[in-house]
Structure 1
Amino acid sequence: MELYKIAASKLHGIGIQTIKQLHERIGSLNILFEEDISVLAKRYEVSKKRLIQMNRKHAIAEAQKQLEFNKKFSIQTLFFDDIKYPDLLKECSDAPITLYYKGNKQIQGRLVSVVGTRRASSYGKQMVEKLISSFENQEVIIISGLACGIDTFVHECCLKHNIQTIGVLGHGLNTIYPKINRNLAGKMTTNGGLLTEFGIDHQITKYSFPKRNRIIAGMSHATIVIESPKHGGAIITAEIANGYHREVMAVPGSVFSNSSEGCNELIKKNKAHLLENTADFFELMNWKKTSKNNESKIQLTQNESVIVNLLNREDGVHFDMLVALSKFSVSQLHELILSLELRQIIRALPGSIFKLDQHITQSDMV
């Protein structure tokens, strides 16, 4: 019964592990909530005092409010032993008893969390665009936290490239924080959804968002940190993912950038694999890349085509020569080269020399 699945998460004075053990021992939520306490205590050797402290009546009353809200707004209740509950999250000892999900897709498949700082730099945004766009048609579900900064760009890029994306919230589904992301959240429910362990009675605190990070890490096969200072939610998520023995990857950044200190330190301390592009990712995960047509053309902008055509003539061109031949400014050329490198169209050689990647031919591009 859905009412009892919600009520189980609202029992007073009892931890997640204990509830799971009780459920396993008793075998039925109906019995847990309907059987006389004295009978429960005797039959299942549970402390009568503890059963009284759980306050079943209050839990059911609160659950009834949540259930009515769920029905009104088409929200699914996911109990920890339900088939729709995220598979990997079930393996985590501190996984929530109950989750609430508003969305149109199942949370099953290849799940990858992509997180980062709320103060995203232009470099961080560019990395999000290049990495997320490379996941298009790869049957990957992208998880993030709907926070300002990197999280927001992750979700927006997923929608732009028709990639399923799920936002894990640090509050109930009766609100959206930050408010500026309300429209984005609504769009996400049409190709993915919103997930939370918190009910409509939850009051947001400073602990709510770090707590939700364990869900992001726990439900994902891998966690990618795009950009982060030494201390922040993204680093917490990476640490939790390591604790769950999941793959962690981080995008390196400038040693002069505070926004990259966290990523650089994760890599330095071998707490994360260095990630430059999705080719690195698929190799680390040992996942086979897929394509709708098994054969796809590489889309180039007009400026990118200029660089590719120049490199196609020679087996390696110096950066300064590219500036002279292309007529682009140094900053323009840096951006174009970064874009092409991330998509593995060109590669850098020692001495600021660039050439087309060996697997790229002119016929691959349009």
Structure 2
Amino acid sequence: MSQNLRIGYLVPQFPGQTHIFFWREVLALEQMGHHIDLISTRVPPPGLIAHDWSQEAMARTTYLGMVQPLLALTAAGRLLPRGLPLWMAQHGAGFARDIVLTLSAAEQLVRHAHAEQLDHIHVHSCGRAALIAALAHKMGGPPYSLTLHGPLSDYGPGQRFKWADAAFATIITRKLEAEVREELAGFLPERIVIRPMGVDTDILHRDTPYQPAPHGTPMRLFSCARLNVVKGHQDLMTAVRLLLDQGVDVRLEIAGEDDAGGAGYRKVLEAELKRLHLRDHVKLLGAIDASAVRQKLLNAHVFVLASWHEPLGVAYMEAMACGVPTIGTDAGGVRELITDGRTGRLVPPKDPQTLAHAIRDLVHDSDLAVQLAAAGRAHVVAHFRSALGAETLVSEIEAARVSAAPSPDPIVTGRQAS
């Protein structure tokens, strides 16, 4: 085995409510013998700090913090002769603003990386965190890499700048890879690997076989995602209303919180519950710990997430790993995870009526529910274990280090010298 690495692991606003898969990857990397230095941009709002490991993670995370003018001026002085004005002019006003906001963080990252003797920085984002790593690298910081978790349009301006000097990149779906190769042709690292974030299938499993809802009892539905309009919770609520009106007894629990810690889109969903007369049938649980999510999955008869767009869907993976029949939307890259009728069910996004029909099918066909539960679990174990992401990250860092190492001088023999 190669030497142990010292890896800076940069995640924006860590640890957030959806960051359990980052934490699992960190633990897998450490189990492989590597030193992981957690780095983030800022602490998340209190309402989003939900996991039993959150305090441990925050205690060992270095936060690059707010803009510090003196550090920003130092970074600007370093970068001026390297082309800072040209970069800002080439990529537009939005990118120039992002640079101003990240200069001091980049300076902090350089200093931190040197102090901790980090071999590499991996950024789980292509937003401002990626810009911080790219600027730090231009100031003499360590090599860096990126993971793209969603459409490029979600991650702000200057994508060519962020990707051009990366040692490598991982992308979670083939669909996103095609987008990147088209939009960033000529500015991509040599190595691009398709590797989704995975889940811990040793923890996410059931000790007893899955049991469908007994005849005459309510079907327990569970959903888990941040409270945002694009997650389609409002469509799922409408589907529940349709099912109840058709005489199908269902109960729904939704785990997750909005980005404002409960003061944002949650208010919209609460009003929707009142409008649809669902407050006795649907509960908003807020942000809950990963162990609580697991227990909810094991108690559920069906997992449903009605996203309008989902790059892949770790929540789907977790449900499938727990052997729960899973219904998702055919949006984004979800079909790279769920095959309709084989490992789960796929319905069109923004279509509550078809969603209700898919749920009703599982109410009436317990054999199908059992089949999907088993097939979904097997698929995730084979292709989406969290250890696979850690192994890919290490192998790509090692390959990049070998590629960047200077070639040894050729050995000149006596015969060649004569």
Q: TM-score of the superposition, structure 2-length normalised? A: 0.30
Larger RCO, structures 1/2 (Cα 8 Å, 6+ apart): 2
Q: TM-score of the superposition, structure 1-length normalised? A: 0.33
